[in-house]
Homo-oligomer: A and B are copies of this chain.
Amino acid sequence: MNIIDHLKWRYATKKFNPSKLLSDEKLQTIKEAFNLTATSFGLQTVSLVVVSDKNKRSRLVEHSYHQQQVLDASHLLVICIQDDISESDVDELFDSVADLRQTPHNILEPYRKDLKVMMQNMSKSERQEWSVKQAYIALGNLMTVCAVERIDACPMEGFVPEKYDELLNLKERNLKSVLLLPIGYRSEDDKFARFKKVRKTIDDAVISL
């Protein structure tokens, strides 16, 4: 099976089989894949919240435009950003690089300083927007990883982040919810699974220069 076949197999699953759960191994693959997502400067200002608790999820459905996938999927992934980015986040990254790669201090310091200045020159909302973009990279990565692993998924922007933050106590963790990805296995009667994929032609979507 090549990667294009995997991507063609993928679709936004509207109806999950609630009794078919992901194995611990599959779940571990998803967590590792999330953590391996590339982020700008490697700063990793995104976190993944994996919600298996059905009681919590049943309370989230009404704040997700009543989309039942949030409850019925095997697990609900909530991709979050840090509320803000501080100097200590930059320091943690560079300390890790120095430690792991034994990169000399004099080489790393200018980069450390530049990144701090860059972050300082943004407003808090700009820093949040910057992190949100990283959340979308993670979504793109995870959808493809799910396809390769034959895990069904449904990317969702349509929910009330403030309610999620409240009901999942994300504020206490200094996190803000950005994107949802219920994952699991499709219900056999999800009619969306049989719909033809609608896409532009390659000639419309891609320009060669």
Contacts and interface: CB of A to CB of B under 8 A. Distances in A.
Interface in A67-83: none
How many copies the complex holds: the figure is: 2
A139 B39 CA distance: 11
Nearest to A51: B209
A125 to B, nearest CB: 12
Contacts of A8: 36
- How many chain A residues sit at the interface, stated as a range, is 35 or more
Nearest to A27: B208
Contacts of A115: none
A206 B3 contact: no
A180 to B, nearest CB: 13
A198 B97 contact: yes
Contacts of A35: 199-200, 202, 205-206
Interface of chain A, main secondary structure: helix
A7 B36 contact: yes
A207 B50 contact: yes
A167 to B, nearest CB: 10
A22 interface: no
Contact of A136 (B31, B100, B101, B136): B136
Interface of A: 2-4, 7-8, 10, 12, 29, 31-38, 40, 42, 44, 46-53, 56, 93, 96-97, 100-101, 129, 132-134, 136-145, 148-149, 155, 157, 168, 173, 195-200, 202, 205-209
13 contacts: A3-B29, A4-B32, A4-B33, A4-B36, A10-B36, A35-B199, A44-B200, A44-B205, A48-B205, A48-B207, A49-B207, A97-B198, A140-B140
